[in-house]
Amino acid sequence: MFQTFQDKANPEHGPARLAALREAMAAAGLDGYLVPRADVHQGEYVAPGDERLAWLTGFTGSAGFAAITAARAGVFVDGRYREQVRVQTDDTAYQPVDWPETKLADWLKDALPEGGRVGYDTWLHTPSEIDSLTEALAGSGIVLSASANLVDAIWTDRPGPPMGAISAYPDDLAGETSAAKRARLAEALRADGARAAVLTLPDSIAWLLNIRGADIPRNPVAHAFAILHDDGRTQLFVNAAKLGALPEGCRSGGVTALPDTDLPAALAQLTGPVRLDKSSVPMAIVNLLSESGVAHEYGAEPCTLPKARKNAAQLDATRAAHLRDAAAVCEALAWLDAQAPGTVTEIDVVTQLEECRRATGALLDISFDTIAGSGPNGALAHYRVSEASNRTLEDGDLLVLDSGGQYLDGTTDITRTVPIGDPGADERAAFTRVLQGMIAISRLRWPAGLAGRDLDAIARYPLWLADQDYAHGTGHGIGVYLCVHEGPQRISRISEVPLEPGMIVSNEPGYYRAGAFGIRIENILVVTQAERLEGGDIDGKLCFETLNYVPIDRRLIDVDRLSGEERDWLDDYHELCAERIGPLVEGDVAHWLKSATRPL
Residue 369 pLDDT: 96
Contact (Cβ atoms closer than 8 angstroms) between residue 296 and residue 286: yes
- How far is 224 from 407, CA to CA, in rounded Å? 22
Reply yes or no: is the peptide bond before residue 100 cis, omega within 30 of 0.
Answer: yes
457: left (phi over 0), alpha (psi -120 to 50) or beta: alpha
- Residues with Cβ within 8 Å of 136's Cβ and at least 6 positions away in sequence, in order, are 103, 104, 105, 106
Segment-wise mean pLDDT, segments of 10 residues, the chain, 600 residues: 86 93 98 96 91 94 94 93 88 93 96 96 97 97 97 96 96 98 98 98 98 96 98 97 94 96 98 96 98 97 97 98 98 98 98 98 98 96 93 98 98 98 95 98 97 98 98 97 96 97 98 96 98 89 98 97 98 98 98 97
Nearest to 509, CA basis, from 521, 493, 523: 521
Alpha helices by DSSP H, listed for 476-600, are 564-581, 587-596
- Helix H or strand E encompassing 14: helix 14-27
- How far is 417 from 346, CA to CA, in rounded Å? 13
- How far is 68 from 162, CA to CA, in rounded Å? 28
Other CB atoms within a 10 A radius of the CB of residue 413 amount to: 24
Cross-strand bridge partners of residue 390? none
Residue 542 pLDDT: 98
Give the amino acid at 485: H
Cross-strand bridge partners of residue 479? none
- How far is 393 from 321, CA to CA, in rounded Å? 30
Reply yes or no: is the peptide bond before residue 509 cis, omega within 30 of 0.
Answer: no
Cross-strand bridge partners of residue 520? 510
- How far is 158 from 145, CA to CA, in rounded Å? 24
Distances (CA, A) of 16 to 67, 96, 119, 340: 16, 18, 20, 45
Contact (Cβ atoms closer than 8 angstroms) between residue 122 and residue 114: no
- C-alpha 150 chain-centroid distance: 27
- How far is 151 from 160, CA to CA, in rounded Å? 14
Contact (Cβ atoms closer than 8 angstroms) between residue 471 and residue 79: yes
Name the DSSP class of 48. G
- How far is 337 from 438, CA to CA, in rounded Å? 23
Q: Which domains does the chain have, with CATH numbers?
A: 11-154 (3.40.350.10), 167-307 (3.40.350.10), 309-593 (3.90.230.10)
Q: Which residues of 295-325 are buried (b: 16+ CB within 10 A; e: fewer)?
A: ebeeebbbbbbbbbebeebbbebbbebbbbb
Name the DSSP class of 245. G
256: left (phi over 0), alpha (psi -120 to 50) or beta: beta
Nearest to 477, CA basis, from 467, 465, 464, 486: 486
Give the pairing of strands 73-77 and 95-98.
parallel
Contact (Cβ atoms closer than 8 angstroms) between residue 465 and residue 508: no
- Helix H or strand E encompassing 70: none
Contact (Cβ atoms closer than 8 angstroms) between residue 256 and residue 234: yes
